[in-house]
Amino acid sequence: MTPPSTGSTRTAAGPPAGRTGTGGPTVRPVDRPRRLRTTPAMRSLLSEHRLHPRDLVLPMFVKEGASEPVALGSMPGVLQHSMDSLRRAATEAAEAGIGGVMLFGVPEVRDAVGSCATDPDGILNAGLRALVEEVGDAVVVMSDLCLDEFTDHGHCGVLDDAGRVDNDATLVRYQDMALAQAATGAHMLGLSGMMDGQVAAVREVLDRDGYTDTSVLAYSAKYSSAFYGPFRDAVESTLQGDRRTYQMDPANRREGLREATLDLAEGADVVMVKPAMSYLDVLADVAEVSPVPVAAYQVSGEYAMIEAAAANGWIDRRRAIEESVLGVRRAGADFILTYWATELAGWLR
């Protein structure tokens, strides 16, 4: 029995066939996703992910002995701040509406154990007190809790007699750093050293000494990356060799999730993936399972690449910045550390 006609025919590919003005056949798509991209208002209404100034955290550098800010050749627009310029830049960032600032210190004197890191009057702790005083009611003041800026060998921990980073001896130094930083009033401590057990060690002494409200941001999946080069200029790193025995192998994806899971079990309040752009798969993995907020760090090399390409006229600078940060947000980051934080917040507002 011949089925009744439906009044239309389909091509082998599926959509209904029509007629062109010249009499030839044409194919009309059944689904037209482009309908939802027709105008700026339509695209804005239907955007799946958005950036807000509060999603952004500004990394900042404060240099001991500096009477004025020092420009960084490898990171155009980024400065090693004096104490005065640090306050001014933090105020500008807060007025732009960003969510937080992360401070790194550049000391004049370094030694084997990073003594300046635990000196209450050392450059990082003094800078943190200044930030808390200046903008502590408006943004989250975060500290870098690591020894690499303060050791004469440039590693993130203390060394044993064989010249290897001693994980457990380093944890003791991190505990001392945590107490010194918490005493400044810093709201969140960024544990970036990638020592095993660092979150548990820091959380233990914070709670013991009454700093139960001080949060811990764990750099959970921090990879041994080539994209840190300009940052090492910014902190005047003295590193010889590399950090591959404690930072992660760029080839490893599952291990990133394992590290984040361990930090969560140890009490991390926030977990982070670093760098961002080359590790969006790891970021998505962590974001899918994490019960706490997830951060990502758009590192110095990512910043420098876009700035260099834009300076040469090869890419549209603003579009590239916005797209790169939005991609990190889309992959699952709740907030993003980026050197463009203040500028980007101004665009978003």
Q: How confident is the model at residue 106, as a pLDDT?
A: 97
Residue 18 has pLDDT above 70, yes or no: no
Q: What pLDDT, in 10s, does the model give residues 324-339?
A: 999 999 999 999 999 9
Please, what is the average pLDDT of the chain?
A: 93
Q: How confident is the model at residue 26, as a pLDDT?
A: 85
Q: How confident is the model at residue 27, as a pLDDT?
A: 87
Does residue 39 form part of some domain? no
Let me know if 274 is a catalytic residue: yes
Let me know if 222 is a catalytic residue: yes
**How many domains does the structure of the chain reveal?**
1
CA separation, residue 205 to residues 106, 184, 211 (Å): 25, 15, 8
Give the domain extent around 181. Answer: 53-348
Q: How confident is the model at residue 24, as a pLDDT?
A: 67
Q: How confident is the model at residue 23, as a pLDDT?
A: 62
Does residue 72 form part of some domain? yes
Does residue 1 form part of some domain? no
The model's pTM is 0.91
Does residue 16 form part of some domain? no
- Tokens 């209450």, located at residue: 120
CA-to-CA distance for 40 and 26, rounded, in angstroms? Answer: 30
Does residue 133 form part of some domain? yes
Does residue 31 form part of some domain? no
Q: How confident is the model at residue 22, as a pLDDT?
A: 60
Q: What is the mean pLDDT of residues 86-92?
A: 98
Does residue 27 form part of some domain? no
CA-to-CA distance for 117 and 106, rounded, in angstroms? Answer: 10
CA separation, residue 290 to residues 174, 296, 330 (Å): 25, 13, 16
Does residue 316 form part of some domain? yes
Out of 87, 173, 274, 329, which one is annotated catalytic? 274
CATH number assigned to the domain comprising residue 270: 3.20.20.70
Q: What pLDDT, in 10s, does the model give residues 194-212?
A: 999 999 999 999 999 999 9
Out of 87, 155, 203, 222, which one is annotated catalytic? 222
Token duo for residue 335: 């907030």
